[in-house]
Structure 1
């Protein structure tokens, strides 16, 4: 849909939509030629943002909920430490990229996608290089299980006739939260709720 259609569908002015782009709450539109176009994932994201706002959350809180790694990376920038740890270690760089923890841009800069994971792996004072190696090793070990989990969630959402995630990020979020809940239960990190 073009910008006007998107604006009408969500009930916001073009100027307001640009402010959500500027805050990083809405990805930029896809350009086809010179014309910006919005996809269904833009609509889904905007609806999530507005839903959270209507419940009283500030835009900063909404950003932290929807993009926790990006928010954490802004507060505690780990990029420089990761880049330093990878300097001269092409095997560690390749393993980090393969695992999805980091990516390397054509100009050679490194972007950290899993800031929370880097913190979790290095939480006991270990070096960043050791944390990255540990994360790459763990990502490799769980890869087959992740593939199965993604496929199971895909099938479940289709069979349950839910508004199934149509974009990879939505599916990734759903799989991650289901696995996170199960891991917390398995490790005894949850407490039963009481009916009052």
Structure 2
């Protein structure tokens, strides 16, 4: 314990307090000897970094619980590692830097449930750099992370439907194989991107029309001598 406290730059008393609050996992014991490892040191450094960023001990405890209950990265990548997406390794404090006060236990749990995040010792793995960057950009625009994650869940439902449509289109023809599906996937992405672009154009035009004041002539604007007959 003394060695761990010294490496982490804290007092033994503080370390005992963190253990009592379950901010760090229990040590491995051999008889009366308690062994701590790099995972404990990484957690202590994370606690210090989050405290410096203004997080409370209660909030850190909830985050630690979410980390400990999260899906392991082996399980996440075992579902099928993305062939075109690049996973990103993050420390908990780096994740807090991306999302600030939006990095709450509730949002972390939602991201873990979606499969966006997994844990790997003292690190967090995000399944897609592109999704991480887009999520952080939306949060910087003032959109709550909870809303971003809820929308991400809906987008996934529609994306699964689009993937099924394209898969059926290719594989329902007897001359095509799963290898053809992989070869032709850029075509599916191009169609989805083009349709989304045009759909956004339509929504933007509709919104512009809705925001334009109604300039239809009113009776009082028809000039002298006007009448309703």
Q: TM-score, normalised by structure 1?
A: 0.41
Q: TM-score, normalised by structure 2?
A: 0.37
